[in-house]
Amino acid sequence: MLLAVAVALPALVLAASGGAAPAGGGSITLYNGQHEQTTDSLVTGFEKATGITVNVRSDDEDTLADEIVLEGSHSPADVIYTENSPALEYLQEKGLLAPVDGSTLAQTPSKYNSPQDDWVGISARVSVLIYNPSLITKSELPTHVLQLADPRYKGKLAFAAGETDFQPIVTSVARTYGQAAALKWLEGIKSNAGSHVYPDNETIADEVNRGAAAFGVVNQYYWYRMEAELGSGHIHSKITYFAPRDPGYVLGISGAAVLKSSRNQAAAQKFLAFMVSRQGQEIIAHSISFEYPIADGVKTAAPEAPFDELEPNGITIPELGDGSAAIALLRKAGLL
Amino acid sequence: MTPAAIVEQPTPRATVPRVAARAGLRPWVLVGASTVVAIVLALPLVFLLIEAYGSGLTTVWHLIFRSLTATLLWNTVQLTAVVTVLCAVIGIAAAWFVERTDLPGRRLWGALLVIPLAIPDFVVSFGWASLSTSVAGFRGAVLVMTLAVYPLIYLPVAASFRNADPGQEEAARSLGVGRLKTFWRITLGQARGAILGGCLLVALIMLSEYGAFEILGYQTFTTEIFTEFNIAFNVQAAAALSLVLVALSLLVLTGETAARGRVRVSRAGPLSQRRIPPHRLGHLTVPVLAGFTVFVGLTLGVPIGASVYWMLEGGRALLSGVSLLSALWHTAAYSAPAAVLATVMALPVALLAIRYPGRAHQVLERSTYLVLAMPSLIAFAFSYFSERYVNGFGYQTAPMLVLAYAILFFPLALVAVRASVAQAPVSLEEVARSLGRRQLIVFCRVTLPLLAPGLAAAFCLVFLSAVTELTATLILIPTGVQTLSTQFWAYETNLSYAQAAPFALVIIAIAAVPSYILGRFFDGLPSRAVVAT
């Protein structure tokens, strides 16, 4: 029996080794660092509109960025789509991105695009506090980001050191208060979080919702998605914002880029164009992404605070940088 | 030949272990094959050293000697110690009841006790964590990991109990040695290699586990290394941290080697292969059955129950993904060849280590266990090696994933094959050779059938492990393809529990097949051994 298996299986592997076969319209490979909820519907819409097949490889945005750096000139990826701007800035600094078509860039406000025109902003997200009202009241919550390190939140705070969504907040705090203060603040957070250190924001949202921890900092869409998935009957948490323009109140930009090494430049540019087109932005506005579309005139259909009523601080994309300073701080604080 | 007929065979002479005993193949064939295997297995380690060296001594020093390291070390070491001991106690007790007593339904229990191995640790973790938020931290990790990995000790120990020479126990008892002492000295003594091998696997897996600990919020070296890989844009740094992990596993390996000593368990010739008279449980039957029922409830009931619960609970199907069938197909198509490959690789190493014991051979065999400590590194090493040195050859292809699985789970295959080799009498091969059979024929006609149970166990162990593997799969899987575990993970990490649940259940369901085969092979052992003569 074993022998038969040994003989038959290499054939099986060969048969199984291929990914999706390219359809008539050609195909591109997308390295997807975005949440699959957001990507799925965009890819489906694009495939329908153009006949171009999209092979999706999903992973953490930083992991994918690293893979691309490693793969260099023979990267299988044509497009990278990330949750936050630092991963794209990192690739931009390495000179791995191709310029984005001007017509694509024109669709979204330039402050949300690559300063070097190497990637385009697709959607926006904003940091919020998620809390469990049975464990902490709204008035007891911090309104100021530095208060996260206040000892009175010991054992109440949930934290995900490895979550890339948190890095922009670290960068913002360091920029406002300096490296030393930011480090002290992170050490306080570490002490407050204690054993409530989780791998990602999904887990923070889930654990707070179930009452394992009182509150944490996530992006707004995690809560809306959780509500969509679990049904409102299973939601025992709420979200609220930091004080207007607080350094913790950060607007992040999710974006996409075409790789310089792509052998399917035209199709890849088409995908970017689709994502910021009216149709693509409407998909984000109406899907379970719950992120904010950023093209002019498209508004989220989700029951969340309207985009133009948000009051985030003014940190810019160049100021958010490639995230390396935030990582260095997290590491110094013993969180990474 | 029926077992009854075997029992009636006259008692044969015992085989005296001989250092110079010849295997079916010449030693240089085994040494050559084993060396090739060792080199393949050492590749990730070489990569690790190159990367750590490349990052500079100062960086490595700073990364290793920081406050976090002490915490991680303590977390990792205390968890590894506690879980290994618990798994040993549970694994030995379960194996003894199933193989050595008249426990009703022992074949069913045997199958049920193996299945947890096929439930990914992160599914077990998720199952418990979704039951109660209090299953977290150290105690949560102890609970989840013990229930998830004890089969690694149960399996080899059960095989050892099953194949052990009953004459020794009978002799001890007839010489007036008490029951408990006989159990301690003879029964456990005969299974010593299997127990230590199992403990070694458990300890190394505790060092390398990632997913379950992330869910439980328990930080160990491996979770930290993974975070480093994913976040820090710095492979060198993660490689440096991995050095500590390798050092830890070297410690574990050395400890196990020291405990194992130079004892080689042997038994009488195959003609003595007969059913061991089972111990009668008597009035203990009901409590033991109750204990087994509760235990299986905890190991299988909780993860399966949680999956069924979430499936019934429903929720909106928010994500699109590959179909169950497509994921199932790819899972099988990657896991089965990996299991064959790992088993084939384990054969020469096991033969060499047992038949030609010597310091060099032992070191060679022991060194292969290191891979268990660095599963994620193997995947990264493959990617990096492919991209840096061979221009992307094999990158993100199925053969690379299969090879990675084979390397990753080679130690599992080795433990199983080794246990079989240790108990296969060399004398049979010598008889065949003395009858003028050629070496290769002796190997194929005598040695392989004698080792069949071990080979089958090896195949099943590796197959089960590959089916449940996640971290290396996520890194190496061809683009556009999902296996059962990666699709489960995609849903699970997005809180789409209702969509994730069917994938967890299918993983568990296909695990029943190799478990069944495992049971069958062990049951078929006596007649096979006799046919081989």
> Looking at chain A, which residue has its C-alpha nearest residue B130?
A210
Residue B489 gets which letter from DSSP? H
Q: In A, which residues are within 8 Å of B485 by CB distance?
A: none
- B456-493 pLDDT per residue, tens: 888 988 998 898 888 788 878 898 899 999 898 888 87
| Residue A19 banded pLDDT, cuts 50, 70, 90 | very low
Chain A segment 255-294 residues within 8 A of B by beta carbon are 288
Whether A16 sits inside 8 A of B231 (CB atoms) is no
Is B407 contained in some domain? yes
Compute the nearest-CA separation of A269 from chain B (Å). Answer: 20
CB contact under 8 A, B398 and A226: no
Confidence of residue A14 (pLDDT cuts 50, 70, 90): very low
The residue ranking higher by pLDDT, A105 or B423, is A105
Q: Give B222→chain A minimum CA distance, Å.
A: 12
Q: How many domains does chain B have?
A: 1
Angle at B389 between CA B385 and CA B392, to 5 degrees: 75
Does residue B319 lie in a domain region?
Answer: yes
Q: Could you tell me if A39 and A151 lie in one domain?
A: no
The 10s digit of each residue's pLDDT in A193-211 is: 987 888 789 989 999 999 9
The three-state secondary structure class of A253 is strand
Residue B273 lies in a domain: no
Instruction: Say which residue, B365 or A30, is predicted with more confidence.
Output: A30
Residue A281 has pLDDT above 60, yes or no: yes
Q: Extract the tokens encoding B261.
A: 């000593």
Model confidence at B166: pLDDT above 80 = no
Say if the Cβ atoms of A76 and B494 lie within 8 Å: no
Q: Does the pLDDT at position B231 exceed 70? A: no
Q: Read off the pLDDT of each residue in B197-218 and give the average, rounded to a whole number.
A: 84
Same domain assignment for residues A167 and A74:
no
Q: How high is the mean pLDDT of chain A?
A: 90
CA distances in angstroms from A277 to A48, A286, A294, A295, B101, listed in the order given: 14, 14, 10, 8, 71
Which among B337, B475, B490 has CB closest to A58? B490
Kindly determine whether residue B387 and residue A70, on different chains, have CB atoms separated by under 8 Å.
yes
Q: Which residues constitute the domain of residue B396?
A: 18-261+282-531
Residues A161 and A232 in one domain: yes
> B316 to chain A: which residues are within 8 Å by CB?
228-229, 231
- Assess whether A183 and A263 both reside in one domain: no
Can you give the CATH number for the domain in which B56 is found? 1.10.3720.10
Residue B276 in any domain: the answer is no
How many Å apart are CA A112 and CA B82, to the nearest integer? 52
In a domain, B425, yes or no: yes
Q: Using one digit for the tens of pLDDT, what is the confidence trace for B31-53?
A: 888 888 888 888 888 877 887 77
Distance of CA A16 to the CA centre of its chain: 31
Rounded to 5 degrees, φ, ψ at B239 are -60, -40
**pLDDT given at position A141:** 97
Residues A189, A327 within the same domain: yes
Based on the fold, state whether residues A149 and A223 are members of the same structural domain. Answer: yes
A227 touches chain B (CB under 8 A): no
Instruction: Pick A36's closest partner by Cβ from B217, B232, B319.
Output: B319
Q: In a mutagenesis test of the A interface, which of B229, B233, B451, B493 is the best target, namely the one with the most A β-carbons within 10 Å?
A: B233
Asked if residue A130 and residue A240 are part of one domain, the reply reads yes
Identify whether the C-beta of residue A242 lies closer than 8 Å to the C-beta of residue A249.
yes
Q: Has residue A312 been placed in a domain?
A: no
Model confidence at A303: pLDDT above 50: yes
Q: Do A2 and B455 touch (CB under 8 A)?
A: yes
Pick from B402, B456, B495: which is nearest to A206 by CB? B495
Does residue A18 sit within a domain? no
Give SS3 for A251.
strand
CB contact under 8 A, B318 and A225: yes
- Do both A39 and A146 map to the same domain? no
Token pair listed for B481: 């393809």
Q: Is residue B3 part of a domain?
A: no
In this structure, the answer to whether residues A258 and A111 fall within a common structural domain is: yes
| Residue B54 at interface with chain A, using a CB cutoff of 8 Å | no
Out of B315, B383, B480, closest to residue A70 by CB = B383
The Cα B46–Cα B256 span in angstroms is: 24
pLDDT tens per residue across span B76-104: 999 999 999 999 999 999 999 998 899 99
Answer yes or no: do A134 and A246 share one domain: yes
Treating both helix axes as pointing N-terminal to C-terminal, what angle do B121-131 and B302-313 enclose, rounded to 10 degrees? 70
DSSP B264: -
What ipTM is given for this predicted complex? 0.78
B17 pLDDT higher than 50? no
Q: Do A5 and B496 touch (CB under 8 A)?
A: no
The verdict on residue A171 lying in a domain is yes
B13 in a structural domain: no
SS3 category, A258:
strand
A31 to chain B: closest CA residue? B479
How much is the pTM? 0.80
Residue B275 lies in a domain: no
Query: Any idea what the CATH number is for the domain that residue A239 is in?
Result: 3.40.190.10
Q: Is A317 inside a domain boundary? A: no
Which residues of chain A are within 8 Å of residue B479 when distances are taken between CB atoms?
19, 29, 55-57, 76
Residue A262 in any domain: the answer is: yes
Instruction: Please count the structural domains in chain A.
Output: 2
| Domain assignment of residue A10, yes or no | no
For residue range B290-305, what is the model confidence (pLDDT) as tens digits? 999 999 999 999 999 9
A90 and A221 part of one domain = no
Domain range for A174: 125-250+322-332
Q: Is residue A145 assigned to a domain? A: yes
- Residue B520's pLDDT band (boundaries 50, 70, 90)? low
Tell me whether residue A280 is in a domain: yes
**Shared domain check, A225 and A158:** yes
> Nearest Cα to A4, choosing from B423, B489, B336, B106?
B336
Q: How many A/B residue pairs have CB atoms within 8 Å?
A: 156
What pLDDT was estimated at residue B264? 53
